[in-house]
Structure 1
Amino acid sequence: MAASEENSALFPIFILTIMAIPLVPYTVMKLCRAASKKSKSIHCNCSECVRSGKYRKSIFKRISNFSTYSNLTLILLWAVMIFLVYYIKNMSREIQVFDPYAILGLEPGALDSEIKKNYRRLSIQYHPDKNPDPEANKYFVEFITKAYQALTDPISRENYEKYGHPDGRQGFQMGIALPQFLLDIDGASGGILLLWIVGICILLPLVIAVIYLSRSAKYTGNYVMHQTLSAYYYFMKPSLAPSKVMEVFIKAAEYMESPVRRTDDEPLHKLFMSVRSELNLDLKNIKQEQAKFWKQHPALVKTELLIQAQLTRKSADLPPTLLGDFRRVLELAPRLLEELMKVVLQSMRNIRNTVSVITSKDAGLVSLKDDSLKDDYINITYITCYIGQSRRDEVESFASLSLFVTFSNAVAYVSFCCHFPPISVSFHAMAVIPRTSQGLGWLRPATGVVELSQCIIQAVPLTARKATGGSTEGAPFLQLPHFSESVIKKIARKKVRTFEDFRDMTLQERAELLEQVAGFSSDKVTDVEMVLGMMPSVTVEVRCETEGEEGIQEGDVVTIQAWITLKRANGLVGALPHAPNFPFHKEENFWFLLADPVSNNVWFSQKVNFMDEASAIIAASKAIEDTMEGSGASVKETSAAVREAVQKVRSGSRLVMGKFPAPAEGNYNLTCYCLCDSWIGCDMKTNLKVKILKRTRAGSRGGLVTEEGPNAEDGIEEEEEDEEEYDDDYESEYSEDEEDKKDTKKKGPAANGKVHKKDSSSEGSGSDEE
């Protein structure tokens, strides 16, 4: 029993160790994240942002932000650990090694006379005849008497001095650090040890794994549901205006799962009447259009109306029952828009197929419209089962499992799930295969997604992107504090027709314009200047080349290198955008696109962020180092190039590098876009001419200079020469619901792999409407 008590005493130490192994590193990681997040909180301090309370550090808000499930669990676990440390500390005082010298208050090796003297002194203090206290009696019998016997008996004293114990050498013992009741195998609790081992070591990890896998299987690595990706792939088309992008965006599974209550009907109808002009309804058939709108899935109707409430800044009129849903819609919007952007830019397309399956208990037979897709990966959107001629709605769906499978595996799954007589099963599937032979993304929907993101963050209606009075684009102005449609019309009369004209004015000119024409006070003018100082100005230096070669031939792997430089009037590099009407923190991101506006193809794309300087330095250093080593540069040259890249990053630049296959022979008039997902009017584009040569024999690429066109070093052309040629390449698409007319590809002499001059920021959504 003594051994079991000693083992039981070690149980708190065992539990403390098991808890500390994962808890300490997780806490350190969480603190580091909190510190980095705090350092990034550089936000706008205009009166509207202060009034919104989004960045206000009140006590209640700090408590609510801190009181998350993970933080409370973390605090509880640390409280348990502190209690265990305190318990172990006190327990160590109770469990002491038997030391007769210490008990009698002697130094090791004391003489017999000293031992007897101290024993008599302690006897007077603790002997039952002298001290009636039961604790004193217990201490005298169990400790003082045994210590005196151990030191006065020659054999016991010799054993203690030689082996550290009066009884002589002690054998090596091993135990289990578990509570005593689990080790009481003689009693009724003998089987608890087995249950403990099975439950804690096997069942608990298994249950946690099953719950985690069942939940995580529904989501991608970006915490977006697989069903959302399926819907986006299915409904995405090469040419979509922002209004059509909205229709695709709201079909996310996260929004489809939002509850629609009966109490929501009346406030949603009121909201519909206030935002009806923004829904692109045909006014000639307004009744039919309204009926068609309300026939949609209730979750789609609710989501679109709540987004329109954000765009039109009508959220203050929402009842409390809708505010929670409104915040959830906006909280998910940036993540879903980013995923939609990736879907548009990925080199994939969707194929709609109906697969007929005849199943039984033993086998399945698949019949496809296109047998070539038999081994392609698909995502089942829905399954329809038939028993004879009657339809059976109770079916097993791959959509609920959120798995990409092959057609053959889909058939096997349906066969396995059907335990009734042979039936006919049809399921609609989405096959993910390359969109084009080159595997290019689509430019028009990509710009539409960015425009929608800008409008949601800045709470600006999509219709405001149209040119309004005096050819002034209203959308960029509406994101400024205290601006309205009437203010825009007033300043348009003073020949301020574009947002660029307004930004290019001096501080004094802007102040006079706003005070005298718009009637702004000095405080309002200060707010406007503060926001203008936060707005980014982006320039791009881009170069395309084939590593180790003079020109670019069809089929080559082309390397693109672009330096994107961001500047603000207030001197900051990374900052949160001015967005007083968006209730959540949002980092500004940029999308770099190398595209052909004529063919609507995106050749290369990459997301760029200016908030994390440390990660940008690491990425740029590695990319430059790999490039220099691949070109055979010396260590000194490589170090110099890396230092230059690091200096550029610290001064506000970001490196974009990637590769893409060269297309067929020809002259391509490409455009580099740098689109901001948070600001309107801060997009940038620059033209890039690339000449692709015909594939020749291996090693013979010299015809580039003498026959096909100018050499790369001699072919630099100023962008202004062809500026008019690109005026309509990147227009806002809100008023164009039909597809663009197909234009013939412009060709002409061009240079390969050279940096073209940077272009000015495009207005509004990057439009070039003059």
Structure 2
Amino acid sequence: MSFKDTFTKDDQKEGLLGYDDTAFYYFISSVIVSIAIPWTCSMIYNAIFPGQAQVEKDFPTKSKSGSKYRYCASSAMVEKVDQARKRARTGSTGSTVGSAVKLAVLGGMWILLFVIYLQLGDAKEIKRFDPFEILEISPGASAAEVKKAYRKLSLVYHPDKNPDDPLAASRFMQITKAHMALTDETSKANFEKYGNPDGAQVSKLGIGLPPFLLQKENHLMILCLFFFLLLFVVPMAFICYYQRTKNYAANGVMIETLQFMGYYINEATRLKNCPELLAASAESRAMALRPSDNEELKMLGTQVTEHKKRQFKLPIIIKNDYLLMAHMQRLHHLMSPELRADLDELLRHSLKITQAMIEIACMREWFFTAQAMIEFRRSLIQALDVKSSQLLQIPHFNEETLKHCLKGKNATAMLTDYLQKDKDQRKGLSSMTPDQIADVEAFASHCSNMEVKAITEVEDEKEIVVGDIATVTVQLLRKNLHEDEAMGPVHAPLFPEPKFEEWWIFLVEGAPNTRIIGFETQSQSSFRRSESISFDTFSIPFP
């Protein structure tokens, strides 16, 4: 029987296992350190700079490509960003219970590391095979003493007397080899020459299990713990995760909402239908109703202009529909703080839900419906009503200002036309203060000056003829940015979250069907002046 020499430290004569478990403690301490140090640094950073991580997430200074984001410099947007950063810093601590739990777990990890350090501090240097120490005799012991010690220990650690104890079996192997090393001439010569009765050996070190896992009296406890983890903890973790996610699709929208939108959105759905559809979503219906809402909504209801007959009569749908219409008609000053908080929650849901609404229309190839959904999404972000002028996006513009812009020389109704005019030709500024005019200029310089170019071509062909499959590539180039700049969030002071630009490109069949052949969406959060975006190409058969 070959004996693989294992080297051991003496741990109360170890019970007495022939391997060293120090490597296990080094391994487990390395794992804990790799978690504890970054977590501790993160907590210290959050304590010194509270909310900074959330601020960088919502309002990053640089894009992934390294370009510097340009933010709108109007007073409303500067104030919005400052307030959002302040809220992130003051609300960064989270719940007291959650923080206490995290601190307790982290403290426990450091205490465990300290205990392991003490354990490693008591570890002895790995020793070579020593038959005298194994047999518990002195180096000058006689042959009779060696034989007596061997018989004594072999009776205690013989495998037949300890059938379920791997510690005893390992110790018995060492005792046998120690006896051979002192009594057998060949083994004794190998031991004197190589330090091992089997001759020259190669030392092998591995991650040994801690001794308590191999001790017989702990087997039942370890088995129970294993089955507890396998049959309770793992299934419960899976069930909890499933319960949290089973109601949501991959895009983060509730499955019930997708089913609802898929049923009610049709080819005739237009912008005026969208506020009530959003208010009827599952996310909206899950919001709470308060006893005070009825009274607070009465005054709001008298000021809101409804553009269609109401389709749903559920109180929570009516409430949230009023809030959405009041937001689009800029009646925020009539809302109580509670209603404003409800509106902000609903608007946060709206980004994912309206994205799903657009995709439903696109999948069904309804161009005008998709166009209406995109317009509704823009109306929510900019707080514009169904029939509101685009010019109301400009800071300090109101209905009175619009009257001046739509009359006389240089009259303008479209936002793009207004921004392209020289400063001295822009109407509606005569009654504004210098600070207000500066806000208008900041808004104008922040709005995208985009060059759109569509290229239609057939691969390896110079001309397109009937029957060819053409590839359409759309390129976008932003001309209002410097080479090292990227576009920051859009000017949207009444929307609760920062919103980056996005562009929807459609390839549409001509009249009368206007069927969507292909579509692509592109977020411009990292778009720079010097690069153009090539969207996925669309192959279309020419008639």
TM-score by length of 1: 0.51
- Quote the offset at 1:485 in angstroms: 0.8
Q: Which of 326, 348, 370 is 1:446 aligned to?
A: 370
Matched residue, 1:331: 348
Is 1:507 the equivalent of 2:420?
no
Distance in 2, matches of 1:36 and 1:483, equals 26
Partner of 1:57: 85
Which residue in 2 is equivalent to 1:342? 359
**2:124 aligned to 93, 96, 109, which one?**
96
Q: Distance in 2 between matches of 1:553 and 1:75?
A: 71
Q: 1:541 to 1:321 in 2, by over 3 A?
A: closer
**Does the CA contact (< 8 Å) of 2:284 and 2:317 recur in 1?**
yes
**Match of 1:504, as an amino acid?**
Q
Amino acid in the other structure paired with 2:515: N
Deviation at 1:77, TM superposition (A): 6.2
The correspondence for 1:301, drawn from 285, 294, 318, is: 318
Q: Paired residue for 1:231?
A: 260
Residues 1:608 and 2:522 are matched in the alignment: yes
Shift in alpha-carbon separation, 1:485–1:17, aligned structure 2, 3 A: same
Q: Which moved more, 1:237-246 or 1:32-41?
A: 32-41
Which residue number in structure 1 is paired with residue 412 of structure 2?
A: 497
Question: Which structure 2 residues correspond to residues 348-427 of structure 1 after superposition, within 5 A?
Answer: 348=364
Residues 647-676 of structure 1 deviation map (CA, whole Å, 9 limit, x = unaligned): xx76142111322442xxxxxxxxxxxxxx
Instruction: Give yes or no for contact 2:477–2:529 (8 Å, CA) kept in 1.
Output: no
Question: 1:328 offset after TM fit, Å?
Answer: 1.4
Any idea what SS the aligned residue of 1:342 has? helix
Task: Give the AA of the match of 2:524.
Answer: F
CA contact (8 A) 1:552 1:558 kept: no
CA contact (8 A) 1:228 1:253 kept: yes
Q: 1:173 to 1:529 in 2, by over 3 A?
A: closer
Q: Which has the higher strand share?
A: 1
Match of 2:537 among 658, 665, 671: 658
Structure 1 residues 463-496: Cα deviation after superposition (integer angstroms, max 9, x where no partner): 31xxxxxxxxxx2221111111111213333432
Aligned 8 A contact 1:562 1:656 in 2: yes
User: Is the 8 Å Cα contact of residues 9 and 177 (structure 1) preserved in structure 2?
Assistant: no
C-alpha separation between the residues in 1 aligned to 2:466 and 2:203? 81
Secondary structure, counterpart of 1:221 in structure 2: coil
Q: Does 1:480 align with 2:407?
A: no
Q: Residues 210 and 493 (structure 1 numbering): CA distance in 2 closer, same or farther, change over 3 Å?
A: same
Deviations 1:408-465 (A, max 9, x none): xxxxxxxxxxxxxxxxxxxxxxxxxxxxxxxxx111111111111111111122231x
C-alpha change, 1:300 and 1:23, in structure 2 (3 Å) is farther
Evaluate the alpha carbon distance shift between residue 73 and residue 327 of structure 1 in structure 2; reply closer, same or farther with a 3 A threshold: farther
Segments of 5+ residues of structure 1 without an aligned counterpart are 101-153, 282-288, 349-440, 465-474, 614-648, 663-691, 694-770
Q: CA deviation at 1:573?
A: 4.1
Report whether the alignment pairs 1:280 with 2:307.
yes
Contact 1:4–1:183 under 8 Å retained in 2: no
Structure 1 residues 198 and 602, CA, compared in 2 at 3 Å: closer, same or farther? same
Are residues 196 and 37 of structure 1, via their aligned partners in 2, closer, same or farther at CA, if it must alter by over 3 Å?
A: farther
CA distance in 2, matches of 1:609, 1:600: 25
Alignment equivalent of 2:503, drawn from 578, 586, 590: 590
Go from structure 1 to structure 2 and tell me whether the alpha carbon gap of 1:553 and 1:333 turns closer, same or farther (over 3 Å shift).
same
Asked whether the 8 Å contact 1:245–1:445 carries over to 2, the reply is no
The residue identity in structure 2 corresponding to 1:651 is S
Note if contact 2:25-2:120 (Cα within 8 Å) is conserved in structure 1.
no
Give me the whole-angstrom Cα distance separating, in 2, the residues matched to 1:345 and 1:25. 45
Q: 1:558 to 1:81 in 2, by over 3 A?
A: farther
Change (3 A) 1:91 1:547: same
Does structure 2 conserve the Cα–Cα contact (< 8 Å) formed by 1:242 and 1:449? yes
Paired positions, count: 447
Residues 72 and 14 of structure 1, relative CA distance in 2, 3 Å threshold: farther
1:311 aligns with 2:315: no
Q: Which segment is superposed worse, 580-589 or 251-260? A: 251-260
Aligned-partner Cα distance in 1 for 2:423–2:318: 45
Unaligned runs of 5+ in 2: 1-11, 43-51, 64-68, 129-181, 184-189
Partner of residue 542 from structure 1, selected from 454, 471, 474: 454
Per chain length, whose mean CA-contact separation is higher, i.e. which structure has more relative contact order (CA < 8 Å, sep 6+)?
2
What does residue range 741-756 of structure 1 map to in structure 2 within 5 Å? none
Q: Cα deviations across residues 387-426 of structure 1 (Å, max 9, x unaligned)?
A: xxxxxxxxxxxxxxxxxxxxxxxxxxxxxxxxxxxxxxxx
